[in-house]
Amino acid sequence: MRFLITGGAGFIGSHLAERLVQRGDSVSVLDNLSTGSLENIEHLVDTGQVDFHLGSIQVPYAVEKLVDEADFVVHLAAALGVKLILEKPVESIETNVTGTQIVLEAAARNRTPVLIASTSEVYGKSNKIPFCEDDDVVLGPTRKSRWSYAASKMLDECLALSYWEEKQLPTIVVRFFNTVGPRQNARYGMVLPTFVQQALEEAPITIHGDGKQSRCFCDVRDTVEAVTKLIDAQAFGEVFNIGSTQEISIEDLAMLVRQRVDSRSQILYTPYDQAYGRGYEDVQRRVPSVDKLHGVTGFRPKITLPEIIDRTAAHLRSAMTEVI
């Protein structure tokens, strides 16, 4: 099968490209390298296993040409990371909404199936745990840019599902919950690689807030496996959570990272206002139900957090050695 991955030079996209090539599919990647890196897929491009195209999902002609050549589109390209969303909310909204609309319009011409990447952010401040795909959502006020990302991804989901219902375009929506692992870049505010990097450097491990907020961290290998199984199941017209159900507080995460890395780093606490500016809101718990994913594919993410930390640390150690 011929796949097009938008954002395929990014963290999840590069791992997905590897997995698809491994199983015998052909892969093209469209990426503007704003947050991704050619280094992530260089080994696949150099061997001719992946065709790389430098470009933006906001340029219709470039998107249409590549979509026309594909049997399936995996749309991962998006603005990401808390820091980027807060610093450039207009760019983030336009990238997510306009880019997704262009991809869906191009795919609709030949009814090329599309998997749209969404996020656990769409659940907002809901107190219902675990989060299920058909739950109501609770977002904060629009004057707080913290919620613009969630709103834009909700609109992406609505567009995808509307194309399925109105234009019979086969679409699947997946909501990622804190996917982590090698190649994830700390500079966009991703907590796990940030903690591991700080621990390796014996720098203070910096927690935003009181550290009591909790998350579930899913290894990128599990995320990619779930995506491929949903594609193979042709689970069109549906929304699926993809994430681990192993919950941990950010405070405990910092301590676990320090232990696994064998670091002497101090743990410091930084108020949200100091880290992100005034008025920032965080979500206390974010735990997915993956029963729907399991029901359709028979798959549940299973890689443990200690193993994830060890793999991330090994990758970052290698990168640090190369720099030296």
**Considering the chain, what percentage of its residues have pLDDT values greater than 70?**
94
Question: Quick one: average pLDDT of 54-60?
Answer: 95
Which entry of 123, 149, 163, 276 is annotated as an active-site residue? 149
Using CA atoms, how far apart are residues 306 and 324, in angstroms rounded to an integer? 27
pLDDT band at residue 188, thresholds of 50, 70 and 90? low
pTM: 0.94
More confident position, 323 or 107: 107
Amino acid in position 98:
T
Helix (H) or strand (E) holding 29: strand 26-31
* d(C-alpha 307, C-alpha 267), whole Å: 22
Q: What is the mean pLDDT of the chain?
A: 93
Q: What is the pLDDT of residue 281?
A: 75
Q: Is 149 a catalytic residue?
A: yes
CATH tag, 2-180+218-243+282-302: 3.40.50.720
Q: Would you say residue 315 has pLDDT above 80?
A: yes
Judge whether residue 231 has pLDDT over 60.
yes
Q: Are 5 and 16 in contact (CB under 8 A)?
A: yes
Residue 245 buriedness (CB in 10 A; 0-12 / 13-18 / 19+):
middle
Q: What local confidence, expressed as pLDDT, does residue 143 receive?
A: 83
Amino acid identity, position 204? P
Helix axes 191-200, 250-261, angle to 10 degrees: 40
Residue % of the chain over a pLDDT of 90: 81
